[in-house]
């Protein structure tokens, strides 16, 4: 009897050790990603990112789809770095990796059933974009294949990961990806300007994202995803570390001088605070987190009051300096909106069916993208396509809620998807494959935030 107990104990210990080793090896990918991206910038090698691409391509073939998704999410904040230049265009490494990931999902799930209604919606969504192929040139057709691969990957991964997905691990990868992006931006700023405080409203921090508005959105998403970790944390050290991470990310979000960042963060944090005050007993961890953040902010403001005042004045100047000039205040987005609306009104067919996603800004003659997700959908897919897009979102939410139907979805769990929705009102979405990855990630947060399952049940990806 004692021999059997000892054997069970050894088996349990062996299993826990195996899980721990898989976890450490899994996080090794983050170190490699960070090392390659930052070393390329620091030493101006222009080689390590290519080596990283080859490594990740082979890595994806031998790891689980869930681990693959975590890696892809970690790369999004560094999209400006992760590309391969070829004549006449640049190939995003993220798109190549999604193609490999899609192949892996096909192989693993070839004989597994999939809901026919779900499959029909996905195929119809992709086919609708393909119906515009007759207006495309060779380059646009190549982009169409890349876009289709991304949609199929996101859709199939969503369906086949309902039971295996580990949200905590993906959040850690996502936050680390933003941290790497910030470090890249610091190196870039010091190389270009010699300081982080430029005192110039036209010089904005953009990290590894390549654009300050996209960078600030990635920071915002990470800030609200951090609440998932806060809500489950029991380690006392991490309870004080998370507020410092929050403040660190906010600081660089502010350095992006993004008006959107200030407005969205202010609005959502105010709503979050009101919600927590009225449900204090149920949100003690979040309340402790917020009070700690406020305490650290007060402490830091005492020692860095001049820097704090300077950057705040710069950010506010992006509102006050252009208050009488709508075009400057919106960075000419209102002008773009007028041009695209005129384009739609000039052709009934385009208003109903759209002109297609790929290179739509070039084919329209406007040259610049719409910078508004609603307007963009109407331009590229028309009124019919707008309904098709809504149908896709409704389908994803339907299967998400069906899987987690016994769990209440807290307001906090909606913050990342609200953040994405508001942010893309001034950004491009449909032509960016990363948008669909972020959308899936935010929907996963809805599913997982209030789940009572312990992380030990799904400790790490294999």
Question: For the segment 309-327, what is each residue's pLDDT rounded down to a tens digit?
Answer: 877 777 777 766 666 666 6
Report pLDDT for 215: 96
Spell out the residues 6+ positions from residue 396 whose beta carbon is closer than 8 angstroms to its own. 158, 439, 440, 443
Read off the pTM: 0.89
3-state secondary structure of 364: coil
Copy the structure tokens of residue 252.
């660089």
- For residue range 378-418, what is the model confidence (pLDDT) as tens digits? 999 999 999 999 999 999 988 887 776 666 667 788 889 99
Highest mean pLDDT of the ranges 284-293, 303-312, 386-395, 450-459: 386-395
On the question of pLDDT at 21 being above 60, the answer is no
Query: Where residue 328 falls among pLDDT bands split at 50, 70, 90?
Result: low
What does the CA dihedral 312, 313, 316, 320 come to, rounded to 10 degrees?
A: 170
From CA 385, how far away is CA 122, in angstroms rounded?
Answer: 13
From CA 232, how far away is CA 222, in angstroms rounded?
Answer: 16
Copy the structure tokens of residue 124.
């119809």
- For residue range 97-155, what is the model confidence (pLDDT) as tens digits? 999 999 999 999 988 888 899 999 999 999 999 999 999 999 899 999 999 999 999 99
Report pLDDT for 235: 82
- For residue range 220-234, what is the model confidence (pLDDT) as tens digits? 999 999 988 988 877
Q: How many structural domains comprise the chain?
A: 1
Q: Which domain covers residue 382, as residue numbers?
A: 2-458
């Amino acid at each position: 009897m004692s021999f059997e107990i000892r054997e069970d104990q050894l088996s349990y210990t062996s299993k826990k050790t195996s899980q721990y080793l898989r976890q450490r090896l899994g996080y090794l990918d983050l170190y490699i990603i960070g090392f390659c991206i930052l070393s390329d910038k620091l030493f101006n090698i222009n080689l390590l990112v290519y080596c990283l691409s080859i490594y990740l391509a082979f890595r994806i073939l031998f790891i689980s789809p869930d681990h693959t998704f975590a890696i892809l999410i970690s790369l999004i904040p560094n999209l400006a770095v992760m590309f391969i230049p070829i004549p006449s265009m640049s190939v995003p490494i993220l798109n190549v990796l999604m193609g490999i990931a899609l192949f892996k999902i096909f192989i693993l799930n070839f004989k597994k059933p999939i809901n026919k209604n779900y499959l029909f919606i996905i195929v119809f969504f992709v086919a609708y974009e393909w119906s515009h192929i007759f207006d495309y040139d060779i380059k646009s057709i190549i982009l169409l294949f890349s876009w289709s691969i991304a949609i199929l990957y996101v859709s199939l991964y969503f369906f086949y990961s309902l039971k295996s997905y580990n949200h905590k691990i993906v959040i850690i990868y996502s936050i680390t990806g933003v941290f790497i992006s910030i470090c890249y931006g610091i190196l870039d700023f010091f190389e270009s300007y010699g300081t982080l405080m430029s005192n110039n409203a036209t010089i904005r921090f953009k990290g590894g994202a390549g654009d300050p508005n996209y960078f600030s959105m990635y920071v915002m998403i990470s800030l609200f995803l951090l609440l998932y970790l806060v809500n489950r944390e029991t380690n006392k050290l991490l309870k004080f570390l998370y507020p410092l991470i929050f403040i660190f990310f906010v600081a660089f979000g502010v350095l992006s001088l993004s008006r959107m960042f200030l407005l969205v963060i202010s609005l959502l944090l105010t709503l979050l605070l009101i919600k927590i005050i009225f449900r204090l007993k149920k949100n003690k961890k979040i309340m402790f987190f917020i009070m700690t953040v406020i305490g650290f902010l007060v402490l830091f403001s005492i020692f860095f009051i001049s820097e704090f005042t300077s950057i705040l004045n710069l950010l506010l100047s992006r509102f006050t300096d252009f208050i009488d000039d709508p075009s400057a205040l919106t960075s000419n987005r209102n002008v773009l909106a007028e041009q695209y609306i005129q384009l739609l009104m000039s052709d009934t067919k385009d208003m109903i069916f759209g002109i297609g996603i790929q290179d739509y800004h070039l084919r329209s003659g406007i040259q610049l993208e719409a910078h508004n997700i609603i307007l963009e959908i109407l331009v590229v897919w028309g009124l019919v396509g707008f309904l098709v897009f809504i149908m896709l979102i409704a389908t994803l939410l339907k299967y998400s809620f069906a899987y987690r139907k016994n769990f209440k979805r807290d307001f906090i769990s909606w913050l990342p998807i609200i953040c994405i929705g508001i942010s893309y009102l001034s950004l491009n979405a449909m032509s960016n494959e990363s948008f669909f990855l972020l959308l899936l990630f935010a929907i996963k947060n809805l599913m997982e935030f209030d789940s009572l399952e312990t992380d030990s049940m799904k400790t790490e990806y294999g």
